[in-house]
């Protein structure tokens, strides 16, 4: 099944629901970054969360950045997701591996650490991004992002994300976001019903592994509450906007002395994109051209 995202409403617009499958893009991230099992789960959960958060934005170029910084051995996680369905991300220490937790699951919370912060930056496309910071709740990602939604956006929310990694790679990955809209926020019975049903979910990936589609899952949860699924699912994918041109532009910022040092000592330069792992090489000739551009601009000014 292709990675995709669907949107829906229920309870006469009182509930907003979004589901996303990220199996293929999480596997691509695993391969690009050579991730361990637990690092794959942590990054996959965060990428699913990023896409779920970005799904509510309005302008096509809108993006969400999620940074998770706990006190665990994984270090930090950084994810960039867009309303356009693209997402990219990385972890600081991709090779970290831990024994399963007490429930026999990948110990994402132990790898991330429960002592730390979740940072969310929303860029709505007007050039004035706004940010929020909340303390981590568990380091399991889903709990932490749900806490952000309640604390920073004052929106009662339930968020479930999961990744199942088998011997051959990622077998299932995705998530579900349910939110009670302001018009229904005072409906205590509706809120309680939603909390109860989400609480009964035994994870998200087992449902995907059982062959259920996103529509099936939402139907089981909200079918008796007037569920309306938007007709067109959105394809989502791992995508990074890095390029040789951007790499050269970044090198140019180092200045003449540093570029000349690279020519003399390294016969060129090599740069790796943190987000996607792509490696770019700059030749001596390209570095010399950058130096020439800097000198030309300096003489003009």
CATH class of the domain whose range is 4-238: alpha beta
Burial of 286 (0-12, 13-18, 19+ CB in 10 A): middle
How far is residue 227's CA from residue 200's CA, in Å, rounded to a whole number? 19
Tell me the per-residue pLDDT of 174-207, one tens digit each, with 9 for 90 and over: 999 999 888 887 788 888 888 888 887 778 899 9
Q: Which residues of 181-199 are buried (b: 16+ CB within 10 A; e: fewer)?
A: eeebeeeeebbebbeeebe
By the 8 A CB rule, do 67 and 119 touch? yes
Give the pLDDT of residue 301.
55
Q: If we measure between CA atoms, which residue out of 275, 133, 297, 106 comes closest to residue 203?
A: 106
Q: Which part of the chain is CATH 3.55.30.10?
A: 4-238
How far is residue 104's CA from residue 53's CA, in Å, rounded to a whole number? 29
Tokens 């589901």 -> residue: 19
Give the pLDDT of residue 4.
97
- Report CA torsion sign: 198, 201, 202, 208: negative
Residues 6+ apart with CB under 8 A from 265: none
Q: What is the DSSP string of 169-211?
A: EEEEEEEEEEEE-GGGTT-HHHHHHHHHHHHT---SHHHHHTT
Q: Which part of the chain is CATH 3.90.1280.10?
A: 244-300
**CATH 3.90.25.10 is right for the domain spanning 244-300:** no
- Report CA torsion sign: 50, 218, 14, 85: positive
Over the chain (301 residues), the average pLDDT of each successive run of 10 is 94 94 98 98 98 93 96 98 97 96 94 97 85 96 94 87 96 94 82 82 86 94 94 95 92 92 91 93 92 80 55
Q: Residue ranges of the alpha helices (H) in 63-200?
A: 108-112, 142-153, 188-199
Q: If we measure between CA atoms, which residue out of 88, 87, 98 comes closest to residue 37?
A: 98
What number of other Cβ atoms are within 10 A of residue 296's Cβ? 10
Q: If we measure between CA atoms, which residue out of 56, 181, 169 comes closest to residue 120?
A: 56
Tell me the per-residue pLDDT of 80-129, one tens digit each, with 9 for 90 and over: 999 999 999 999 999 999 999 998 899 999 999 999 999 999 998 777 78
pTM over 0.85: yes
By the 8 A CB rule, do 103 and 44 touch? no
Q: How many helices (H) and strands (E) does the chain have?
A: 10, 14
């Amino acid at each position: 099944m292709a990675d995709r995202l669907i949107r829906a409403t229920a309870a006469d617009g009182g509930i907003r629901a979004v589901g996303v499958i990220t199996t293929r893009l999480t596997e691509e991230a695993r391969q690009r970054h050579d991730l361990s099992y637990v690092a794959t789960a942590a990054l996959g959960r965060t990428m699913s969360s990023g896409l779920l958060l970005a799904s509510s934005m309005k302008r096509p170029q809108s993006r969400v950045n999620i940074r998770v910084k706990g006190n665990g051995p994984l270090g930090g996680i950084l994810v960039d997701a867009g309303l356009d369905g693209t997402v990219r991300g990385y972890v600081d220490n991709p090779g970290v591996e831990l024994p399963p937790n007490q429930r026999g699951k990948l110990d994402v919370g132990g790898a991330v650490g429960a002592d730390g912060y979740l940072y969310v930056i929303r860029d709505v496309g007007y050039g004035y991004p706004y940010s929020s910071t909340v303390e981590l709740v568990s380091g399991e990602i889903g709990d932490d992002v749900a806490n952000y939604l309640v604390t920073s956006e004052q929106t009662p929310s339930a968020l479930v994300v999961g990744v199942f990694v088998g011997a051959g790679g990622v077998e299932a990955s995705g998530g579900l976001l349910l939110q009670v809209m302001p018009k229904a926020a005072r409906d205590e019975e509706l809120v309680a019903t939603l909390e109860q049903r989400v609480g009964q979910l035994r994870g998200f990936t087992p449902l995907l592994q059982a062959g259920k589609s996103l529509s099936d899952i939402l139907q089981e949860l909200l079918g008796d509450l007037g569920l309306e699924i938007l007709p067109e699912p959105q394809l989502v994918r791992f995508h990074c906007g890095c390029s040789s041109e951007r790499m050269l532009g970044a090198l140019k910022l180092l200045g003449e002395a540093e570029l000349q040092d690279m020519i003399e000592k390294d016969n060129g330069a090599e740069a790796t994109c943190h987000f996607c792992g792509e490696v770019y090489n700059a030749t001596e000739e390209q570095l010399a051209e950058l130096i020439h551009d800097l000198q030309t601009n300096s003489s003009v000014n």
